[in-house]
Amino acid sequence: MKIGYVFAGQGAQKEGMGQAFYDQFENARVVYDRANLALGYDLKTLCFNGPQTKLNETEITQPAILTTSVAMLKAFESKINIKPTAVAGLSLGEYTAHVASGSIAFDDAVQLVKKRGAFMQEAVPMGVGGMVAVMGLSVEDTERVAEEASAYGTVEVCNYNSPKQIVLGGELKALDKVESIAKEAGAKRALPLPVSAPFHTSMLKPAEEQLAAELETIRFGEMKVPVISNVNGRIVPSENHIPNYLAKQVTSAVRWIECIESMTAMGIDTIVEFGPGTALSSFIAKINRKIKVLSINDIDSLNQAVDYLSAQHQERAI
């Protein structure tokens, strides 16, 4: 058995996330307390008590999900001794993957994603851009939908989540045309997403440039575990490449399908998802049903994952 870890991206945030881990695990408490110190405000209380409207603000969302995912990882690590073969994360989750790998210090990461969130929101004013998930079409057909809709304004593929769920981002005036074009092409649904900007599109070029400058100030360590990049779905070649990959990620499509295919090519047959939701587990099941996916998002799922992995380890030891 080879294990991979994956980490949640933006959109998984919800009131109460991580509180049970904080209450039951000392190392999870340390994570939230360190985040509060690094950020200079009470992120912990926002995660536990909301309000949801505040948690949905990109500048808050990104450090909140990263912190919660790391707290869940630390709780998991306190119960079982396993080293993953590779790690990855969806969009924001790639920063959590680097924390898990040891290439970015947690305190640096949480401050960095706070700025990333601010840069991404400032790049496109509210009410100008957005994102739409297209479900039920092939990758190629969805790309053709984007091309046709782009006659009305900027529309680009921004997330290759699974073979049957591709997300388009761009100007709202053009995205308004996506639903009718997609349904005419045979899509089951075209669902506007509750986000405030067209993430992972060329419209965020100013954010990429600002983030690149911030990344130059960060000291990156050795990747103790290979990290798979969203930009191309491949392993980041070396620590020297991390700043460029993370900067490019802001305007590049998230190639999640290829990230999972790279894990499969490495022999990974079991993936553990960390974060407040289960979206990544759903995507992975649609990419490759042979992969066993364990989603850790509450105490019950943590215990179930630990029990399963412990049993698998014992079977192989006999």
Q: Does residue 316 register a pLDDT over 80? A: no
Q: Which two tokens stand for residue 221?
A: 């360590």
What 3 state SS string does 95-118 have?
A: HHHHHHHCCCCHHHHHHHHHHHHH
**The one catalytic residue among 91, 196, 229, 252:** 91
Residue with tokens 């990156």: 220
CB atoms within 10 A of CB 280: 27
Question: Which H/E stretch holds residue 271?
Answer: strand 270-274
Alpha-carbon span 222 to 224, nearest angstrom = 6
Q: Which two tokens stand for residue 169?
A: 């981002």
User: Is 129-195 in the same CATH topology as 3-123+203-317?
Assistant: no
CB 226 within 8 A of CB 236: yes
Alpha-carbon span 188 to 139, nearest angstrom = 14
Active site residue 91: yes
Q: Does residue 181 register a pLDDT over 80? A: yes
Alpha-carbon span 289 to 78, nearest angstrom = 29
HSE, side-chain direction, 13 A CA sphere, residue 312: 14
CB atoms within 10 A of CB 7: 30
Alpha-carbon span 184 to 141, nearest angstrom = 11
The percent helix, strand, coil of the chain (3-state, each to 5) is 55, 15, 30
pLDDT interval class at 315 (50, 70, 90): low
116-164 pLDDT, tens per residue?
Answer: 999 998 999 888 999 999 999 999 999 999 999 999 999 999 999 999 8
Averaged pLDDT for residues 240-248:
97
pTM of the model: 0.94
Averaged pLDDT for residues 280-290:
96
The SS3 call for residue 187 is coil
Alpha-carbon span 183 to 170, nearest angstrom = 18
The CATH code of domain 129-195 reads 3.30.70.250
Identity of residue 294: L
Q: Which two tokens stand for residue 12?
A: 């998984």
Averaged pLDDT for residues 211-231:
97
Active site residue 200: yes
Q: What is the mean pLDDT of the chain?
A: 95
Domain ranges of the chain: 3-123+203-317, 129-195
65-124 pLDDT, tens per residue?
Answer: 999 999 999 999 999 999 999 999 999 999 999 999 999 999 999 999 999 999 998 999
Q: Does residue 317 register a pLDDT over 60? A: no
Q: What is the pLDDT of residue 318?
A: 47
Give helix then strand counts, H and E, for the chain.
15, 8
CA 53 to chain centre: 20
Q: Which CATH architecture has domain 3-123+203-317?
A: 3-Layer(aba) Sandwich (3.40)
Q: Does residue 183 register a pLDDT over 80? A: yes
30-54 pLDDT, tens per residue?
Answer: 999 999 999 999 999 999 999 999 9
Q: Does residue 12 register a pLDDT over 90? A: no
Q: How far is CA 9 from CA 65, 95, 313, in A?
A: 7, 10, 29
The SS3 call for residue 4 is strand
Among 279, 272, 238, CA closest to 76: 272
Q: What is the pLDDT of residue 196?
A: 76
**Residues counted in the chain:** 318
**The one catalytic residue among 69, 101, 196, 200:** 200
CA quadruple 246, 65, 12, 153: dihedral positive or negative?
negative
Among 198, 243, 238, CA closest to 216: 243
